[in-house]
Amino acid sequence: MVRLVDLPKWEQEHLLIKCGPPLGPTAWVQNSKPLRQKRIALITTAGLYLRGDESFAWGDSTYRALPGDEDAGNYVMGQSSANFDRSGFQADVNVVFPLDRFKELVSDKTISSLASFHYSFVGAGLLPQQYESSVRSLAKILKRDQVDAVFITPVCSNCTQSASAIAYYLESEGVMTTTIGLVREIGVSMQPPRMLWTSFPLGHPLGKPNDAEFQHQVIRHALDLLERSEPPVLEDFPLDVPYVDVIDVPPCSITFTKPKIDATTFNARLHNELLSLRPWYDLNKRKHGRTTVGHSDCSIEEILTGLALWLDNPDGPFVDLEWFRLAILDAKAFYSEALMAQPGDIEVRQVEAQMWNETALGEALKSYYKYFEKDPRLAAVCTAIAPRQAIFTSTHEWEPGFAEETLRRRGQLDSKPGK
């Protein structure tokens, strides 16, 4: 859940940095037609793009057009942040990009139609103002497509800030918006036109993968905000979803194969893990008919070899940063999908916890993180390597009152301090 009072101090501090002021005077498009007559477009800040297309670069404020008739298996997630759970998207695209749910709304005549194209931004690592040019340009395209309203979904904490900015700039160009918010304090602070705050884990803006009924409840609450008459609107979704704390996660049911060689190097350990994970990855791919691996042009064997090269020989050449960014996206996706195929009901964040606490890949990436954070030129890359939870949980104290006290001093605490 993303209630600040339920998070450790170091995570609260990070999220509070995102609580910037409004971007300008209130932007607001007054509702002029009932929902059943509206044409809707979807926007996500998850960095989705079509497999084979150009991926998002570091600091990329541009967008990608997503055809509404494309097979979901062809979308890959280029979001650079490591600080959210990708297992929801891997299990069900709709928990992030609810295209199937909105097609159902067209079929039952809840809405009139869907836009010809939908759109994706990367919501990590940028200041809100950096989206202005791209979003104002996109607003003109949405108008040409006769879009009446846009439904926006974030996946990480910075995404809620980015989604707020996208909503503000669209609305100031005359395009109505409604936005899911994953960090309530950011909504209170930035005051986007309409936001539905959900207490779901980061990476799950629609709450539950493969639960169409629950996803429809979230969507309908967000669409109801389009009928409000005065800005800004910030409402709370009344339901939570089950949450598993990293500390309470049971051990991984996959038994890693004993190496036939001396597995003291990262290269040997990673390839040993691959022997155990490959069958589970293949099983998951057959079951879902898709994979989210595919950012780099390398095989998983080449990726693991490349990641181990510098770790096993620190005096040798360092990794190429652009290759590294795409390679770790693929490595983490491969491990996640393999771990998701294991027996039993996999809870939110369970896969993440297993990967970071039990695997050689998790250990390798945490080693990269610790090296990168010592170099001011590389520190910004850390957010793409490993989640803060994996790095800081064992070394930082939990101070539950920190968020409320800080927000109260800033004058940003509203009438619901417990959220």
Strands of 163-307, DSSP E: 176-181, 194-197, 233-236
Write down the residue that tokens 């040798």 correspond to: 316
Write down the residue that tokens 């309530």 correspond to: 184
Q: Given the DSSP bridges, would you call strands 39-44 and 117-120 parallel, antiparallel or unpaired?
A: parallel
What are the C-alpha distances in Å from 102 to residues 150, 281, 336? Answer: 12, 30, 27
245-273, pLDDT tens digit by residue?
A: 433 444 444 544 444 445 689 999 999 88
339-389, pLDDT tens digit by residue?
A: 888 766 666 567 888 888 889 999 999 999 999 989 888 888 888 888 877
Mean pLDDT over all residues of the chain?
84
Q: Note the pLDDT of residue 403.
A: 47
Burial (CB count <10 Å: 0-12, 13-18, 19+), residue 25 = exposed
Report, as an integer, the average pLDDT of 31-55.
Answer: 92
- Residue 99 pLDDT grade (very low, low, confident, very high; cuts 50, 70, 90): very high
Beta-bridge mates of residue 93: none
Q: Note the pLDDT of residue 377.
A: 84
- Residue 57 pLDDT grade (very low, low, confident, very high; cuts 50, 70, 90): confident
Q: For residue 149, what is the enclosing H or E element?
A: strand 149-153
Phi then psi dihedrals of residue 315, to 5 deg: -85, -5
What are the C-alpha distances in Å from 91 to residues 270, 276, 354? Answer: 24, 21, 17
AA letter at 82: A
Q: Note the pLDDT of residue 98.
A: 95
Beta-bridge mates of residue 149: 40, 176
> Does 394 score more than 50 pLDDT?
no
Burial code of 293-328, b = ≥16 C-beta within 10 A, e = fewer?
A: bbbbebebeebbebbbebbeeeeeeebeeeebbbbb
What are the C-alpha distances in Å from 292 to residues 51, 230, 329, 336? Answer: 9, 41, 9, 10
- ∠ CA 331-364-59, nearest 5°, is 60
What does 358-407 look like in DSSP terms, one character per residue?
A: H-HHHHHHHHHHHHHTTSTTTGGGHHHHS-HHHHHTTTS---TTHHHHHH
399-408, pLDDT tens digit by residue?
A: 445 445 555 5
